[in-house]
Structure 1
């Protein structure tokens, strides 16, 4: 029997030695994450925190410009090639990607993400849910709608925040005063008013462009009024006919030519970091005019069906969404408003923001987030948005009749959308 015992002891010692070496070895799992600016800053901030929990995982981040990233991911899903383990998706593409069939349904085992949906802002999960009920991605941040404004320019025009936000008519009237007194446009583009109005007054389960049966809503009174308000702003001469994210748009902020901007709360970070850092203390944030509540953007993480590291990908995504420390880290590093309700009640939300004149603006964004309806998405929403915007442009530039324009948009959608 002794001859048998000795080899076993030697084997155990060898195993123990290899085990000790394994603990010192390099990570055994490489997790490929594809993202885009500024969301990629959240991944960079997450790496050291995540490594403490999972030292065996090496995170490899690939970041492309916003449009390039989504184009690359569209191609990857279509071909099944060059797919990452974790795919970042912006709100503008989530409907299309959710219906692609190339992403894991996170509502099903082994993920069962819906069991934790009550921990998140109620509207965020709907944003990533397909028409069949599949959850294509997990939200990581949200963009509660806000009206940013230059307090110094409004003060010069004798316009108060209350006056400006009372109604859409008062917003346009305030814009006339601001333009007359300062020469600044009230907003970059009248399109902004349309974008928020068509999302106003919706209820949980409603869609923006389509109802639950897939029927187009673009000739409804909601769209007619949105077009009328945009036309009124253009006629009043208070918009600069400037497209968001263009060079002219960013220069408009730097040169005091844009007095207000309706967008997600995350715009404060962009203003502070690169759009207009020299205007610190001049900007403020208010709720949207006429008691409107809506969202701009929101970011998500998805898992492609063909990835081999699904469990590691799911662990990482859960860390980004459900870990309070990580949610607050993203908020502090890139002004991404947390989707996790626990993080929204952290004392940091009430901290004054120096760029916004020490205003406690995040409290306003939290209040807005609580009021935003959980609307449904449709894979053809991007198509409808493009068609509607093209028709609005004809109304604004060519004085096309509004109801005719919307009827034409409806007809185009019937041709382009085949269900």
Structure 2
């Protein structure tokens, strides 16, 4: 989630064309939509994002292409406060930008408020068709009644990162192709970790919650069922993931670090763990936190336990509060076009969600010197294609991950029994979904 990522890459986009007199809204009933501006009429648009979307150079480019458009970019540093403010302004019915970003971890909190967003499938430009995006990215922004409230920007396809020097010291293979069998499944991953911890007395991974979150996101159903009711206690997949992760903690595989804490940041420099669940944006975190002294010690491989997965990414929405929805949607569509997604990737590392962008030579040729010259563009494009249909995330899903699951797993790492911590997680989840 973007709030957890603490200021790293994720982005999104939206589109609209000429608007009819009315647009169907997901909340029931019709909504009068403002008319489009006259040709060359001056239009002021606001764009609200958080952390890094890579739009700094794109905004002036769009203004040059559209001399009658002036864009004010409201950029905030933290995703958590940003989304709290967005929900508040949705309820108040005023104060929102013409184009507002929503991170995938918070998408579930706005999908049930479809009446407050324009349906982009009805008002968007003709070239912003569903096949523009990876299908799972496009479909995730649909309300239950089929309304499209957001156009996808970046994604966070999952791979695995590991310390080559620590693997070598433990007698493990270090070549990215040779290590793939270790990451073939969660069973093989945790089995390798148990052997590693027993042999070296060092941690295999950084945090139980980081692995658990990735495992839960791979399931057909997560914390919330399609009926928007808590499915935690009846979800066998979550129970199995819990057992595997907590067993690994008991075997000494976890470094017991809270993700994005100062101690976790320092852990990269100190070699506190040997492997890391690695969405595309994590490479930037590792480089920043591990520092130049650890260049070429970290490697990334095109493998992930259980096949594939996604962690991160955003959407651009056009709230019905906008007085210029047509122009707002056109801006969002342009920002999320393949050409602009590649530029954002080159600027900030935001990995594209558009099918055409994933075959762009500028993306596929991208390498990362810090990771031994790994062909990261090609690698993550391959991983992105392994993701299947999106898991439904009902209201409160992201809050359960952050405020129920993660604290409970931290309690296990501090000595609480897995059974008691499970009950802690369930009770916290119930409070969130009341």
TM-score > 0.5 by shorter chain: yes
Residue 378 of structure 2 is matched in structure 1 by 363
Larger Rg: 1
Measured against aligned partners, the alpha-carbon deviations of 1:337-385 in whole angstroms (never above 9, x if no partner) come to 1111101001233323212211113323222211212222212312443
**8 Å Cα contact 2:158/2:279 also seen in 1:** yes
**8 Å Cα contact 1:95/1:127 also seen in 2:** no
**8 Å Cα contact 1:216/1:410 also seen in 2:** no
Shift in Å, 1:319: 0.5
Q: Does 1:259 align with 2:271?
A: no
Which is worse superposed, 310-319 or 208-217?
A: 208-217
Q: Distance in 2 between matches of 1:107 and 1:32?
A: 18
Q: Does 1:93 align with 2:93?
A: no
Closer, same or farther in 2 for the Cα pair 1:347/1:297, shift >3 Å?
A: same
Q: Any unmatched runs of 5+ in structure 1? A: 1-22
Alignment map for 1:177-188 (pairs within 5 Å): 178-179=196-197, 185-188=203-206
Residue 64 of structure 1 is matched in structure 2 by 76
| Residue in structure 2 matching 1:380, options 393, 396, 404 | 396
Residue 57 of structure 2 is matched in structure 1 by 45
Residue 143 of structure 1 is matched in structure 2 by 156
Measured against aligned partners, the alpha-carbon deviations of 1:175-229 in whole angstroms (never above 9, x if no partner) come to 35555777653222111221122233x4xxx432233233443232211211111
**8 Å Cα contact 1:163/1:174 also seen in 2:** no
Residue 433 of structure 2 is matched in structure 1 by 417
Q: Does 1:82 align with 2:95?
A: yes
Between structures 1 and 2, the one with greater helix share: 1
Q: Distance in 1 between matches of 2:152 and 2:374?
A: 27
SS at match of 2:44: strand
Q: Distance in 1 between matches of 2:292 and 2:138?
A: 33
Closer, same or farther in 2 for the Cα pair 1:287/1:320, shift >3 Å?
A: same
CA RMSD of aligned residues (A): 2.9
Q: Distance in 1 between matches of 2:143 and 2:293?
A: 43
Q: Any unmatched runs of 5+ in structure 2? A: 1-38, 174-178
Q: Distance in 2 between matches of 1:278 and 1:114?
A: 46
Q: Distance in 1 between matches of 2:254 and 2:430?
A: 32
Q: Distance in 1 between matches of 2:128 and 2:348?
A: 28
Closer, same or farther in 2 for the Cα pair 1:317/1:211, shift >3 Å?
A: same
Compute the TM-score of the two structures, normalised by the length of structure 1.
Answer: 0.82
**8 Å Cα contact 1:31/1:313 also seen in 2:** yes
Residue 246 of structure 2 is matched in structure 1 by 231
Which is worse superposed, 300-309 or 93-102?
A: 93-102
Shift in Å, 1:99: 2.0
Residue 218 of structure 1 is matched in structure 2 by 232
SS at match of 1:243: coil
Q: Does 1:168 align with 2:186?
A: yes
Shift in Å, 1:134: 2.4
Compute the TM-score of the two structures, normalised by the length of structure 2.
Answer: 0.80
Q: Does 1:34 align with 2:51?
A: no
Q: Distance in 2 between matches of 1:152 and 1:413?
A: 40
Shift in Å, 1:238: 2.1
